[in-house]
Amino acid sequence: MKKNLLHIHILKQADYQEVWDFQEILMQKLIRTKRNQTVNSSPFSTHHLIFCEHKPVYTLGKSGSIDNLLIPEDKLESSKFEFHKINRGGDITYHGPGQWTIYPILDLECYYRDVHKYVRSLEEIVINLLADYGIEGSPVQDFTGVWVGEQSNRKICAIGVHLSRWVSMHGLALNVNSNLSHFNYIIPCGIPQGEKSVTSMSEEVNRPIDMSEVKDKFITEFVSYFPAEVMENTPYLPKS
């Protein structure tokens, strides 16, 4: 019986541009597969889930403002930060060690055609994962991502996606053991400081969190929303 397959790629200390290029390769392969399908083709496909601990980098979404970068661009390199303007939704955010940046490359038509439902599903996956650590997460109206705190004013997970022919790329950034001081050089997600702040799982529970355990829990939650046979530790595919 044919079924959806989900390949897991683990890329630690990964260069941002290299992983972005990798996402594009996987997305275009899925799109070519869709174009070659007939009307009566089976609604199943091969999908990908990329887990990265990026080198320190700031990324600015297509709807974001450069004014939310608080360090001059010419000083970024000397501060050992990269900077990229990218094609996801959302404003500016940070990726780096201690954070799982997770990129689902999905053909959503194998599940549904609703981008808002997709983003809400990503939020729910993270909320369910956080609950395993005694952290109460929630969505916030008018903002994407997952928030914690009595007033839901601390952001623990940022979400920004891009879709082409219902194939997704980019995704979410979950602060596990992140260096939160690295957010001081930006206005995260363009939300004025004082109104909202950022946090991490380790900050909330006051202890380090096992990154591999979080990865495994995320995969378990993810396939409950997007059923597929998991193919663990798929090699980093060559650029072709």
- Averaged pLDDT for residues 177-195: 79
Yes or no: say if 55 and 16 are a contact pair by the CB < 8 Å rule. yes
pLDDT band at 236 (very low <50, low <70, confident <90, very high): low
Where do the structural domains in the chain lie, given as residue ranges?
5-231
Lowest mean pLDDT among 36-45, 69-78, 138-147, 164-173: 36-45
pLDDT of residue 69: 85
**Residue 238 above 60 pLDDT?**
no
Contacts (Cβ under 8 Å, ≥6 apart) of 210: none
CA distance 210 to 202: 9
Topology of 5-231 in CATH? BirA Bifunctional Protein; domain 2 (3.30.930)
pLDDT of residue 38: 59
**Residue 157 above 70 pLDDT?**
yes
Yes or no: say if 15 and 239 are a contact pair by the CB < 8 Å rule. no
Q: Could you tell me which residue, 142 or 58, shows the higher pLDDT?
A: 58
CA distance 145 to 120: 9
Catalytic residue among 52, 110, 157, 189: 189
Supply angle C-alpha 17, 104, 113, rounded to 5: 125
Dump pLDDT digits (tens) for 119-143.
999 999 999 999 999 999 999 988 8
Nearest Cα residue to 163 out of 12, 20, 27: 27
Q: In the numeric block, which tokens belong to residue 39?
A: 């009307």
Query: How crowded is the C-beta side of 79, counted as CA atoms within 13 Å?
Result: 16
**Residue 73 above 80 pLDDT?**
no
Nearest Cα residue to 20 out of 134, 162, 139: 162
Can 110 be counted among the known catalytic residues?
Answer: no
pLDDT band at 240 (very low <50, low <70, confident <90, very high): very low
Q: Mean pLDDT score of the chain, rounded to an integer?
A: 89
The H-or-E segment that residue 219 falls in is: helix 211-225
